[in-house]
Chains A and B, each alone.
Chain A
């Protein structure tokens, strides 16, 4: 490999390099990190955020933002627990569709539309749950279980969603339209891309992915609670950004997001293993997010 391609590789995979370094440092300080069971745990912990973040990747690539994914996840999980899993998925997609309609037909900024949905979906979760956690049925619980020893379903689901996201982004017209809209909405429109319809799809997908993440989370816990997934939207955004996507749109990849979600999970897991107090964990995680974004902006210059 020539120096140029090595450099290109490193710059395109900055987050991956960061993940490897992070894992090595933690493994060095606490060898138990490398224990197979622990590594699987990390994967399972990453799954919920990753699935959510994949949906967020569509939105961010198209130049938007979705603050409502945490609330939608909670609502979908609750509806799933009260009725059945698939109904939860439908509810999630519908919430996303409402976001999309407000943004493309109501011309609301994504930040505002999804902030409103964050509140509405969380509120509905509180109303329907009457403030109580609700047990999930076998189907949903199955989502959070192990297929076989050492074969957790959440991990497989994460990989499946990863594959779907990569396919949508790189191999479908919808994906190309996302990049075009995020890169230059005006040019996309003048090229005949139906910007409004595409946005509808994008937010619906984000809602659907959030719902799936919510069901996986509920499955793992065996119940859906009113306070589930609070603040997860921020982790999802962080994962996308750590993965190298640009919040101004037009840039982002499925692999980057996967790595971003893993970075967060590895970090949390490592900090727990190292017995860093929870309050300090927040500080460290924030610092790492800033560092990742900083490195990314440095290498872009």
Chain B
């Protein structure tokens, strides 16, 4: 088999942090090589060293000439159009000017390849995060590189898009491209991996074959087995804590009724564009709405007023940690304190940081943390505020298996204390496994509600259902 990239003994420090410690890695032509490891294990750092963004402290790399990388953090220009972003750096030119017509002609082809149907003239900032990710993928594909590295591309994708991406990856593999794939979704690994390099604390602790079991993968990466992936501990539901009724925003969502009781976890499932995030944001007061009411613990909230919502006991962990969740210029501690500025409590702060096992110091700039650990900071900020009702929008995006379970345990603790959780998630096993009831949304409406123990097929049947206008 042809080896495309050979890396030997890669070591990389950030100050006192040893991010990589003597890692070896081979990438063959026509293979999908998965990098697996906990948050902060060094996966992204390895990718950045391969891509030449970071220089390694020691070690050698051969053969990284034809390389395309999709980084974990999106690298699109929000103010530019989809087409312009696709061809950024190599805008087609005519007579020295940007050839807009040519660009518009070629953009649909590229978008088609990833199955994305958006207007090439739309501004990227108006698209959802999943669509943005697909644009990144299309852009990387256009480079026709010999090695394609994908750092957690599926973290923000739904199943349909993930399927599409895995198909594309299989096709590329067939064409002899070497692929490096990072994901925390073990099922995806089982579907596509040829080899799995497991990283732990910056060291490569083993290379597994395509038939590795989930159990084996988890043990190797976490260092201990995990018995229950979705350890939901149910409570007897109390009085309603969050009541959304008749919520309508023209053209976005209609007549949405959702009630979450004390001690309950209610899930919201649905396809991208079903209006789940929009409902969550409207309920929390980030956006306005036309009709309907939102009440917390029986008290109606004013529209479009985040502070009032927080005061009433509502919290929202937003879906896009970088744009909506974190102050990247600030430290971990400062981010954790963002909601509770008025009554700071450094003991509880350290307590939460420890419970979430955030890999990083409280005084460290949050931008130095790995993606998954940043996500834990956003969640921690709200746990610190201890709201009556916490809305979680894709809370475990980019979080490793072990840390996911810890977040689920924290959800359990909240509900055990009589709090309520509204869980918006595109991760079907998660939303089914952790919710006491699942509300399925389609086309901006509630398509139905399923009790605990529903199957993925039942959820999907509701999610794709056509609703007459």
Contacts and interface: CB of A to CB of B under 8 A. Distances in A.
A184 B328 contact: yes
Given A173-B341, A173-B342, A186-B324, A194 B329 contact: no
Contact of A192 (B306, B323, B326): B306
A190 B286 contact: yes
Given A183-B327, A183-B330, A191 B338 contact: yes
A173 B342 CA distance: 7
A179 interface: yes
Given A190-B318, A191-B381, A250-B330, A177 B323 contact: no
A246 B327 CA distance: 14
Interface residues of A, number: 22
A127 B69 CA distance: 62
B334 A176 contact: yes
A182 interface: yes
A107 interface: no
B16 interface: yes
A183 B329 contact: yes
Contacts of A4: 15-16
Nearest to A248: B329
Interface string A167-200: 0000001001101101110111111111000000
A296 to B, nearest CB: 15
Contacts of B323: 184, 186-187
Contacts of B338: 180, 187-188, 191, 193
Q: Interface residues of A: mostly helix, strand, loop or mixed? A: helix
Nearest to A246: B329
A106 to B, nearest CB: 18
A182 to B, nearest CB: 7
B327 A189 contact: no
Contacts of B16: 4
A179 B327 contact: yes
A268 B1 CA distance: 69
B358 interface: no
A177 B334 contact: no
Nearest to B331: A179
Given A179-B334, A193-B338, A184 B327 contact: yes
Contact of A177 (B15, B310, B316, B341): B341
Nearest to A191: B338
Interface centre among A183, A187, A194, A249 (most CB of B within 10 A): A187
A168 B145 CA distance: 52
B325 interface: yes
B213 interface: no
B318 to A, nearest CB: 6
Contacts of A187: 323-327, 338
A187 B334 CA distance: 12
Interface string B295-317: 00000000000110010000010
A48 B316 CA distance: 45
Contacts of B318: 190
A188 B327 CA distance: 8
Nearest to B308: A192
Interface string B313-353: 00010100001111111100010011101100000000000
Nearest to B320: A186
Contacts of A191: 338-339, 381
A188 B325 CA distance: 8
Contact of A190 (B325, B328, B329): B325
A251 interface: yes
B325 A180 contact: no
A292 to B, nearest CB: 20
A182 B325 CA distance: 14
Contacts of A188: 327, 338
Most buried by B among A4, A182, A183, A188: A183
- Counting chain B CB atoms within 10 Å of each CB, which of A191, A249, A251 scores highest? A191
B322 to A, nearest CB: 8
Contacts of A186: 323-324
Nearest to A182: B329
Contact of B330 (A180, A189, A190, A192): A180
Given A187-B325, A187-B326, A194 B341 contact: no
Interface string B428-442: 000000000000000
Contacts of A246: 329
A192 B327 contact: no
A183 B329 CA distance: 5
Interface of B: 15-16, 284, 286, 306-307, 310, 316, 318, 323-330, 334, 337-339, 341-342, 381
Given A176-B337, A183-B329, A191-B338, 5 more contacts: A4-B16, A187-B338, A191-B339, A192-B339, A250-B327
28 contacts: A4-B15, A173-B342, A176-B334, A176-B341, A180-B327, A180-B330, A180-B338, A183-B328, A184-B323, A184-B328, A184-B329, A186-B323, A186-B324, A187-B323, A187-B324, A187-B327, A189-B286, A189-B306, A190-B284, A190-B286, A190-B316, A190-B318, A191-B338, A192-B307, A192-B310, A193-B341, A250-B327, A250-B330
Interface of A: 4, 173, 176-177, 179-180, 182-184, 186-194, 246, 249-251
